[in-house]
Structure 1
Amino acid sequence: MMDKTVPVSEAVKQVKSNDHLVLAGMCSEPPALIQELIQQRERLENVTIYNMPLGSPCAYANPEWHQHFKVKSFLLSGVLKDSYKCGMTDYLPMNLSDIPSFMEQLAPDVAFIQCTTLDNEGNVNLGLSADYTLSLINHAQLVIAEINDQLPWASGKGTISASDIDLFVEGSLPPTELPSATPGDTENRIAQYVAELIPDRSTIQIGIGSLANSIISALKNKSALGVHTGTFPEALIDLYESGVVTNEYKEINQGKIVATCLAGTQNLYNYAHRHSNIELYPSDYTHSTATISQLSNFHAINSAVQVDFTGQINAEKIKDFYIAGVGGQMDFMRGAMASKGGKSIIALPSTAAKGTKSRIVPEFSSVTSTKSDVHYVVTEYGIASLHGKTIAERKEELISITHPDFREEL
């Protein structure tokens, strides 16, 4: 490996104008490589950067540098709003399960990733995220890895031979952290309804954020749950430590928590470091219907921006801006439909904009997930059961869980 370790400036010089450059996803964007890329921007034109950021500042997406970089993002966020509005950034909608195969199709010129230091067997670990990075390593023309001795060594499929990396650069910065969000009264009421739908011995998928944290807390009286999810939220540590999550009834990956990435604080990263029962897998495994269908009683718990009267889900767009991405929602909802005893659950507050707008609306133009893949919609006012219901029946169910201020109008 030492023969491959070069100064970061030399490594980034390998990036050429008009290249397609893919960054490791979620909390794994490599900061030293990105900072050097920005430093060298004046020699570059029209470099296309593919990203899927979570917690990253996306400093390369400065609208003033539009002639140097353009961004194609699988997961938009607020930090990309200005560059999106000026046309520098565009949204690339894609199910997370499909991104690894897209890397093969794209065959990008350069990959920027992060990894741990070398072990005694000549291997490194991808740390926080497996998602599409393994496929990226296999199919990029040049793979440059930023060594970060502060990354956790995650069990699962993220361990690779150092020989798979073309160049290494030194880096040592704390991993990107996402502090836990504190739930409020509305989230806690929603969580209690969601908990009613989750039986003992089921396997759950859940995301991150204040509502997800509240739902996880509401599951503390359940028993023998399994976890097969996308982003592993820090709040799940308590369920595992208390014995609520055992994974003993999972037909595959029995005894293991399976996820595709870690997103939390240093506490989570320390906890997951070499934890034999927390395993990260690529998203074409974790999010595959073929995988999830092998798990009975799989319960997919996701959120939304809006739900329309037919049960269609908008989880991406507010007004003219995509605040997120398709991500794994559709994958997990389809997986829940294919699971024996599975349920697809959408949980959301009944209102937005400080109570001035209903999140349940007659219709909208941006559909993330389809009406045929939803079993239940949950707000703080109850549970709407949609599966097997007609459009008229769905409308009635959904109006019953809207905020009372909007029921007559709807």
Structure 2
Amino acid sequence: MEKQPNSPLDWGQLLKSGNRIFIGSNAAVPNALIDDLIANANQLHDIEVVHIQTISDEKWVEPQYKDLFKVNTLFIAGQKIRAAVAEGRADYTPCFLSEIPALFSSDILPLDAALVMLSPPDEYGYCSLGVSVDVVSAAIRNAKKVIAQFNPLMPRTSGHAYVHISKITASIEQAQPLPEVPAVGFEQRIERIGQYVSMLIEDGATVQIGTGKIPEAVLRYLGNHKNLGIHSELISDGIIDLMKRGVINNSQKTFHPGKTVTSFAVGSQQLYDFVNQNPHVEFYPSEYVNSPTNIARNDNMVSINSALEVDLTGQVVSDSLGYQFYSGIGGQVDFSRGASMSKGGKPIIALPSTAKNGTISRIVSTISEGSGVVTSRGHVHYVVTEYGVASLRGKSIRERALELIRVAHPKFRPALLDEVRKHYWVPNYQVMRPMDVPELGDVGLKILHIGGEAFDLRPLNPADERRLQEFFYSHTKETLLLRYNHHPKQLSREKSCSLVSVDQSRDLALCIVRQHGSVLEIQAVGRYYLIESNNSCEVAFVTRERHQGKGMATILLQEMINIARIRGISTMVAYVRAENKPMLTVFERAGFKRLRSEEPDEVNLQLQLQAEQATESME
């Protein structure tokens, strides 16, 4: 090895014109090496530069170096790279992050040299790849020459993160602070997305976190979870506090138990200090961490990635805006596929519902011309926006469209329904009405714990059509008689659709559901209908037989009373069959008073909402 810490390298001996070189990744870009090469390139020309994301000044892609370098990026990140690709001064090669190492080893992209940043060798001659093992490890193994910048500020990390000094062809030693990515501020809709995603993550799950604001927001809402694990191509500052508090302890992982597994780290100096010689965080190459087979070896694997747009069938666009390439495939497909194969796994795509200051919907009827599908409609189980969670697994095209329209921005929902009708069959009775109930709180639902089980209380929505049919046909004749005062024998698709397509800003239809992964079952339904003539509403509800007597009706009634009061409704009325003693008890415990009824087998009940509220406030 030629080591010249204070002298420029002899690049004429190390490289030839037309060579292909790899530049180290993410927070480990060897800027001093690149500066040295540029300053001492002499007669070198047409060096092909290959890399993934590089957090750097990206000097090599600047127009003045076009004769020296030809850039072929495998992931677009940074304004300079993005502009160069858009202008045709650089190429973009789409590929899965897990398969990039094979491009080097199979000579599809043979490397003449790898320019990398390492820690100085230890007493045994081993250098650490530090915070960026990813595809750097494969580049070092497969390049004809390895040219290193020894950086004493590079952390020494655990795992498969070492290379012996004998592998190094030439080197310089130059301290270089690792680039810090500042903590991001979160707007309200990003916070809301983080809340929704966190609700999909169960205790004991293993999580992959992608890049950007949304994954960081998710981490902020995991503080009350227990026994989480990490298997992720990237880790960021958000894991530090969760690991120190024991929220992330990796104790229930089924692959590398007890260890946080990653391939690169990007964040603040605090993160780089945290991973330095930390035996609880292990770094492995991308072909190992991003292998869908390895990812799937983690039970309850949750992958969280973002997108630029999602169409109404569930196709995900994440590397291009129309004909303009914006980022790359990266590890999204690797982890979506791995999570979908995992026992209890959940592949999630999370994105804001709109772009360009709310003028463009990111939920689209068809993907934009020129855009490419990165993740197929078969890979994604959930799509999350600030308006909720769309569950896609096992859903028909029509059901998927309804689920995705439900989480689109309200102002785009009617147009999306009109658009989807042009291409897919949607019945004419399917309508789009206001479906959000803000009175339920920030995330529009409440988590209930009843009899040792967890349930969600939320509004009914158009995508519940089939589930409501199943709920109806689960009832006994006795339940139907008590609820409807007769024995209906059919709930058609059209009727079910009308019952779930409620204008929730006027009437109200709530349900209690039990959802485990993509399996959803309605347990109880409560609704009221507004009577505008006297500012009252009529309320009714029904509970699945096996849950009757557990308090679900009481919970639904109290929620509807609260919402009716907030909306300024004066009175609430109900009509109950006289023999339905349990239901009468529920109403009377809530404060309803019996009124005289002309029907001997029916009891009329009434609750004064605003008057009672005023009395309570005076007390």
Q: Report the TM range for the smaller structure's normalisation.
A: over 0.9
Distance 1:156 1:272, change over 3 A: same
Residues 1:55 and 2:55 are matched in the alignment:
yes
Partners of 2:292 and 2:85 in 1: CA distance: 32
1:74 match: 74
Larger Rg: 2
Could you tell me which amino acid in structure 1 is paired with residue 228 of structure 2? L
2:201 match: 198
Distance 1:128 1:12, change over 3 A: farther
Does the residue aligned with 1:205 lie in a helix, a strand or coil? strand
2:385 match: 379
Query: What is the deviation of 1:140?
Result: 0.6
CA contact (8 A) 1:297 1:342 kept: yes
Partners of 1:321 and 1:279 in 2: CA distance: 36
Does the residue aligned with 1:172 lie in a helix, a strand or coil? coil
Distance 1:247 1:17, change over 3 A: same
CA contact (8 A) 1:11 1:169 kept: no
Could you tell me which amino acid in structure 1 is paired with residue 395 of structure 2? K
1:29-108 matches, within 5 Å, as 29-41=29-41, 43-77=43-77, 78-104=79-105, 105=107, 106-108=109-111
Does the residue aligned with 1:72 lie in a helix, a strand or coil? strand
CA contact (8 A) 2:301 2:342 kept: yes
Could you tell me which amino acid in structure 2 is paired with residue 234 of structure 1? D
CA contact (8 A) 1:346 1:374 kept: yes
Query: What is the deviation of 1:6?
Result: 5.7
1:183-228 CA-to-partner distances (Å, cap 9, x unmatched) read 2111111111111111100100012322111100111111000000
CA contact (8 A) 2:11 2:41 kept: no
1:25-81 CA-to-partner distances (Å, cap 9, x unmatched) read 222110111112222345222110001124222111012322221101011122213
Query: What is the deviation of 1:363?
Result: 1.6
CA contact (8 A) 2:86 2:325 kept: no
Query: What is the deviation of 1:277?
Result: 0.3
CA contact (8 A) 1:108 1:139 kept: yes
Does the residue aligned with 1:22 lie in a helix, a strand or coil? strand
1:222 match: 225
Does the residue aligned with 2:61 lie in a helix, a strand or coil? coil
1:395 match: 401
1:14-25 matches, within 5 Å, as 14-25=14-25
CA contact (8 A) 1:69 1:88 kept: no
Partners of 1:86 and 1:289 in 2: CA distance: 34
Does the residue aligned with 1:373 lie in a helix, a strand or coil? coil
Does the residue aligned with 1:10 lie in a helix, a strand or coil? coil
1:232-247 matches, within 5 Å, as 232-247=235-250
Residues 1:311 and 2:311 are matched in the alignment:
no
Partners of 2:30 and 2:159 in 1: CA distance: 21
Partners of 2:171 and 2:67 in 1: CA distance: 28
Distance 1:7 1:18, change over 3 A: farther
Partners of 2:53 and 2:294 in 1: CA distance: 25
Partners of 1:8 and 1:341 in 2: CA distance: 56
Partners of 2:307 and 2:86 in 1: CA distance: 23
Partners of 2:332 and 2:303 in 1: CA distance: 8
1:134-145 matches, within 5 Å, as 134-145=137-148
Residues 1:337 and 2:336 are matched in the alignment:
no
1:173-212 matches, within 5 Å, as 173-212=176-215
CA contact (8 A) 1:130 1:281 kept: yes
Could you tell me which amino acid in structure 2 is paired with residue 27 of structure 1? A
1:289-368 matches, within 5 Å, as 289-364=292-367, 365-368=371-374
CA contact (8 A) 1:8 1:32 kept: no
2:118 match: 115
Partners of 1:398 and 1:367 in 2: CA distance: 17
1:346-398 CA-to-partner distances (Å, cap 9, x unmatched) read 11100000111000011223111111000000000011010111111111110
Query: What is the deviation of 1:308?
Result: 0.6
Greater relative CO, 1 or 2 (CA 8 Å, sep 6+): 1
1:126-137 matches, within 5 Å, as 126-137=129-140
Tell me how many residue pairs correspond in the alignment.
409
- Select 2:161's aligned residue among 158, 161, 169: 158
Could you tell me which amino acid in structure 2 is paired with residue 43 of structure 1? Q
Distance 1:350 1:237, change over 3 A: same
- Select 2:170's aligned residue among 167, 172, 190: 167
- Most deviating of 38-47 and 144-153: 38-47
CA contact (8 A) 1:11 1:167 kept: no
CA contact (8 A) 2:9 2:36 kept: no
Partners of 1:187 and 1:159 in 2: CA distance: 38
- Most deviating of 243-252 and 72-81: 72-81
Partners of 1:385 and 1:249 in 2: CA distance: 26
Could you tell me which amino acid in structure 2 is paired with residue 75 of structure 1? F
Partners of 1:196 and 1:120 in 2: CA distance: 48
Partners of 1:248 and 1:171 in 2: CA distance: 39
Partners of 2:91 and 2:169 in 1: CA distance: 29
- Select 2:149's aligned residue among 119, 127, 146: 146
Identity %: 37
Does the residue aligned with 2:8 lie in a helix, a strand or coil? helix
1:242-263 CA-to-partner distances (Å, cap 9, x unmatched) read 1110100111211100000010
1:291-332 CA-to-partner distances (Å, cap 9, x unmatched) read 112110000011111001110111111243222110000000
Partners of 1:274 and 1:206 in 2: CA distance: 22
Partners of 1:83 and 1:40 in 2: CA distance: 24
Does the residue aligned with 1:269 lie in a helix, a strand or coil? helix
> Structure 2: 5+ residue runs without aligned partners?
417-619
- Name the Cα RMSD after superposition: 1.4
- Select 1:370's aligned residue among 376, 394, 397: 376
CA contact (8 A) 1:180 1:209 kept: no
- Most deviating of 279-288 and 26-35: 26-35
CA contact (8 A) 2:62 2:80 kept: no
Residues 1:273 and 2:273 are matched in the alignment:
no
2:254 match: 251
